[in-house]
């Protein structure tokens, strides 16, 4: 299941006691913490990488429980939360590094008819994000649906310019996500770094950047470390994921994540790196801890 499928399930299935939106049984606090190795206190991390995790990958665990586990692991953030959830991580000494903005993956800035709606909602949400301590909001290009890349890029630039001033005023970043159109998000337009970089440079705002998803860009173009180094000044957030299959980022995967993390840290990146892989159902928090250990260079 990819994020679009999960969120579609979330919209279609109402919440019920003990059931999460995707239809997964909700773990109790006791069950959830059986997955996380006990420690005398929070694990001390090396400090070169700020560790986050995407909420949607852990739908069977309550948000408070997930935040508690992340804090114990020495992580810094739980992200991709809706507006009503933005304050929850702070109760556990964490932040929501990346909040869900308005819109969705297929319907984005590459169509002019979406601009007014997206701009109005972003202008409403940006000050709320600042107040809640959410440093960054996510946004999307939208699917091509016959629009050329040149036209789609121009529309994305024009649309994002409408909210750049509000983002600069509040000090909140807007990140345009790079997604693969080969496997998970067919027809998505911002599917290569060159397209995303063209949009960001065209907008020309220090608050409009790229979300470089390592999993997606390995599928589309490879050459991950060189691309990160060449574009680090316009990257505002990172996501991980094992390739192929968005599995755990362990020794079975084709990318060696410690080297990628070293390249990110050595380039002077100060933002967050978020785990966005599908954990095993039997031990999701153990898999998250292992991924953070791997990335804690």
Read off the pLDDT of residues 124-146 as tens digits, 9 standing for 90 and up. 999 999 999 999 999 999 999 99
Instruction: Give the least confident one: 3-17, 107-121, 245-259.
Output: 3-17
Greater model confidence, 291 or 24:
291
Residue 147: give its domain's CATH number.
Answer: 3.20.20.150
* pLDDT score recorded for residue 41: 80
| Four-point Cα dihedral 93, 209, 241, 224, nearest 10 | -130
High-pLDDT (> 90) share of the chain, %: 85
Instruction: Give the least confident one: 21-30, 216-225, 239-248.
Output: 21-30
End-to-end CA distance of the chain: 29
* pLDDT score recorded for residue 40: 55
Q: Which residues constitute the domain of residue 51?
A: 3-38+45-295
Rounded distance between C-alpha atoms, residue 30 and residue 48, angstroms: 32
**Mean pLDDT (whole number) for 21-37:** 36
Question: Total structural domains in the chain?
Answer: 1
**Mean pLDDT (whole number) for 180-199:** 98
* pLDDT score recorded for residue 37: 43
């Amino acid at each position: 299941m990819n994020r679009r499928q999960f969120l579609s399930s979330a919209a279609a299935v109402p919440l019920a006691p003990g059931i999460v939106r995707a239809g997964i049984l909700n773990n109790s606090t006791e069950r959830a913490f059986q997955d996380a190795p006990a420690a005398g206190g929070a694990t001390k991390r090396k400090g070169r990488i700020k560790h986050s995790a995407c909420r949607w990958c852990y739908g069977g665990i309550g948000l408070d429980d997930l935040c508690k586990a992340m804090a114990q692991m020495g992580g810094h953030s739980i992200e991709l939360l809706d507006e009503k959830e933005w304050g929850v991580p702070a109760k556990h000494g964490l932040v929501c590094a990346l909040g869900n903005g308005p819109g969705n993956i297929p319907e984005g800035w590459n169509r002019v008819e979406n601009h007014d709606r997206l701009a109005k909602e972003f202008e409403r949400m940006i000050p709320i994000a600042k107040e809640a301590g959410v440093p960054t909001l996510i946004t999307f290009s939208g699917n091509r649906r016959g629009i050329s890349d040149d036209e789609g890029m121009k529309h994305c630039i024009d649309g994002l310019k409408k909210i750049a001033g509000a983002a600069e005023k509040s000090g909140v970043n807007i990140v345009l996500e790079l997604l693969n159109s080969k496997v998970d998000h067919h027809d998505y337009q911002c599917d290569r770094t060159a397209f995303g970089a063209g949009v960001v440079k065209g907008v020309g705002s220090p608050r409009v950047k790229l979300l470089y998803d390592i999993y997606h860009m390995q599928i589309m173009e490879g050459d991950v470390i060189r691309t990160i180094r060449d574009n680090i000044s316009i990257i505002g957030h990172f996501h991980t994921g094992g390739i192929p299959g968005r599995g755990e980022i362990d020794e079975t995967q084709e990318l060696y994540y410690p080297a990628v993390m070293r390249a990110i840290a050595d380039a002077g990146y100060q933002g967050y790196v978020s785990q966005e892989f599908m954990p095993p159902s039997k031990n999701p928090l153990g898999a998250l801890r292992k991924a953070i250990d791997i990335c804690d260079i």
